[in-house]
């Protein structure tokens, strides 16, 4: 395996996606983020919006939601989320076979694990800075962006734990973890590109 | 407050102490590690070995140990560990008033908090690499260095949680967290010195 990968896990609103794109650009390799969802959609035959949304929910959420989900969807005996996970895993492993690249989110760090030449990055920032960013960059208009952030973090954490059985955001699971709020996006890009 | 600080929290055997010393040397500023224990000994009148050991135990460990500790030692109505904590806090805050420096361990990241110009670093490495290191560098001769590492990590975690009410080793609590086992000591030193 000679392809060299970078995986970026990130808190919502921390600028992890931007850091992924800019690092990839600097290194002249592709970055997969929303493109990953397109690939998963192609493989699975499911709608992109559905994948983008469901890819963040662990199967065992609210019992009522699960009861409905279980009755509504089944692929080869798998619930929708488990089916999506198998497709996602395949798409990410295929990418690693094909080319060196940056992958943002989707538990790529866990999927590529220690069997690939992979720099595992985690990007975070404090709640206030992230709230400011999602209002500025994404034009979030909700009354409490902080509440939305906490909800998103909680979902990503539960999803990550469910499928990887390890803790999201624990320093030991990454080669480098950076506070983009204090260090700035540009410095994070430089550090990651230099390490690569 | 114009002094610029670096705090290094680290897993036992990850090379955090070496990284602290070499970074300080590179930047031409002092590094406090065992020197901190000397200063705490001076201020408290307690023996250095006692401080080095007790500084890693949270007060509420084994109930029997606590029962003995409570009956044995008391400073101004504080248990020994709490008394040591107040001295440690004072010594670290005094250092930050006096000069720019690197401080290894002793919850300095939490003590200096957001009120000081402080780069908060966490160093970790996987268990096998740390076990190899403590045998090579410290000449550990115990049958299971892994067991000793797990025990040390557990103690540091409990101590940190008790006095800071936050989680040791969670990426969000540091500006930069590095895997010294994968990146190497030299690269970690360079990254931290560049950031500073």
Instruction: Write the pLDDT tens digit of every residue in B94-117.
Output: 999 999 999 998 899 999 987 788
What is the rounded distance in angstroms from the CA atom of residue B185 to the CA atom of residue B73?
40
pLDDT on residue B20 = 96
Other CB atoms within 10 Å distance of the CB of residue B23: 24
- DSSP line for B23-84: HHHHHT--EESHHHHHHHHHHH---HHHHHHHTT--SSS-HHHHHHHHHH--BTTB-HHHHH
- Beta pairing class for A101-104 and A31-32: parallel
Distance (Å) of CA A165 to CA A114, A159, A162, A168, B133:
15, 10, 6, 9, 28
Residue (of A48, A160, A30, A46) closest to A95 by Cα position:
A30
Say yes or no for a CB contact (<8 Å) between B183 and A176: yes
In the predicted structure, residue A72 carries a pLDDT above the cut 60: no
Q: Is the pTM of this model over 0.95?
A: no
| Partner residue opposite B171 with nearest CB, options A126, A177, A195 | A177
What is the rounded distance in angstroms from the CA atom of residue B138 to the CA atom of residue A1?
36
Q: Establish whether this prediction's ipTM goes over 0.85.
A: no
Q: What are the tokens at A58? A: 């662990």
Pick the range with the lowest mean pLDDT from A24-33, A35-44, B24-33, B176-185.
A35-44
SS3 at position B118: strand
What is the rounded distance in angstroms from the CA atom of residue A36 to the CA atom of residue A22?
17
Q: What is the mean pLDDT of chain A?
A: 85
Q: Which residues of B touch A182 (CB under 8 A)?
A: 175
Q: Which residues of B touch A126 (CB under 8 A)?
A: 172
What is the number of H-type helices and E-type strands within chain B? Answer: 10, 5
What is the rounded distance in angstroms from the CA atom of residue A163 to the CA atom of residue A185?
29
- Least Cα separation, residue B160 to chain A (angstroms): 15
Say yes or no for a CB contact (<8 Å) between B176 and A176: yes
Q: What are the tokens at A88? A: 């996602």
- Least Cα separation, residue A112 to chain B (angstroms): 16
Averages of pLDDT over runs of 10 residues in chain B (196 residues) are 87 94 96 88 85 71 50 61 87 92 92 88 94 83 81 87 87 95 96 93
DSSP character at residue A170: B
Task: Summarize pLDDT for A80-122 with one digit per residue, the tens.
Answer: 778 888 888 999 999 999 999 999 988 999 999 877 889 999 9
What is the rounded distance in angstroms from the CA atom of residue A133 to the CA atom of residue A126?
11
Q: Which stretches of chain A sit within 8 Å of chain B by CB?
A: 11, 122, 124, 126, 169-172, 174-179, 182-183, 187, 191, 194-195
pLDDT on residue A1 = 52
Say yes or no for a CB contact (<8 Å) between A195 and B174: no
Pick the range with the lowest mean pLDDT from A7-11, A28-32, A159-163.
A159-163
Q: Please list, in sequence order, all residues whose beta carbon lies within 8 angstroms of the beta carbon of residue A41, skipping any fewer than 6 positions away.
A: A47, A48, A51
Say yes or no for a CB contact (<8 Å) between B191 and A187: no
pLDDT on residue B62 = 47
Other CB atoms within 10 Å distance of the CB of residue A129: 16
DSSP character at residue A75: B
In the predicted structure, residue A180 carries a pLDDT above the cut 80: yes
- Least Cα separation, residue B64 to chain A (angstroms): 33
- Least Cα separation, residue B178 to chain A (angstroms): 5
Could you give the maximum distance between any two Cα atoms of chain B, in Å? 49
Closest residue in chain B to residue A178, using alpha carbons only = B176
Closest residue in chain B to residue A126, using alpha carbons only = B172
pLDDT on residue B175 = 95
Q: Is the dihedral of CA A125, A161, A195, B27 positive or negative?
A: positive
Backbone angles phi, psi at B136, to 5 degrees: -70, -50
Q: Which residues of B touch A172 (CB under 8 A)?
A: 11, 124, 126, 169, 179
Mean pLDDT on A114-142: 87
Inter-chain CB pairs, A–B, below 8 Å:
61
Mean pLDDT on A123-127: 94
- Least Cα separation, residue A33 to chain B (angstroms): 22
Give the pLDDT band of residue A130 (cuts 50, 70, 90). Answer: very high
Bin B165: left if φ > 0, else alpha if -120 < ψ < 50, else beta. Answer: left
Pick the range with the lowest mean pLDDT from A44-53, A171-180, B154-163, B165-174.
A44-53
* Cβ contact B146:B131 at 8 Å: yes
Closest residue in chain A to residue B181, using alpha carbons only = A175
């Amino acid at each position: 395996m000679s392809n060299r990968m970078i995986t970026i896990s990130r808190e919502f609103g921390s600028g992890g996606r931007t850091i992924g794109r800019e690092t990839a650009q600097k290194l002249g390799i592709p970055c997969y983020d929303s493109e990953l969802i397109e690939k998963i959609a192609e493989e699975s035959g499911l709608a992109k919006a559905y994948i983008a949304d469901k890819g963040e929910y662990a199967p065992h959420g609210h019992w009522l939601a699960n009861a409905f989900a279980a009755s509504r969807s089944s692929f080869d005996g798998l619930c929708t989320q488990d089916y999506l996970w198998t497709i996602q895993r395949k798409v990410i492993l295929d990418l690693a076979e094909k080319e060196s690249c940056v992958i943002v989110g989707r538990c790529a760090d866990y999927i590529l694990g220690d069997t690939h030449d992979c720099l595992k990055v985690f990007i975070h920032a404090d709640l206030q800075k992230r709230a400011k960013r999602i209002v500025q960059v994404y034009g979030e208009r909700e009354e409490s962006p902080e509440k939305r952030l906490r909800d998103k973090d909680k979902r990503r954490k539960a999803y990550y734990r469910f499928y990887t059985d390890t803790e999201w955001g624990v320093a030991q699971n990454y080669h480098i973890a950076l506070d983009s709020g204090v260090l700035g996006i540009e410095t994070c890009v430089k550090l990651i590109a230099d390490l690569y």
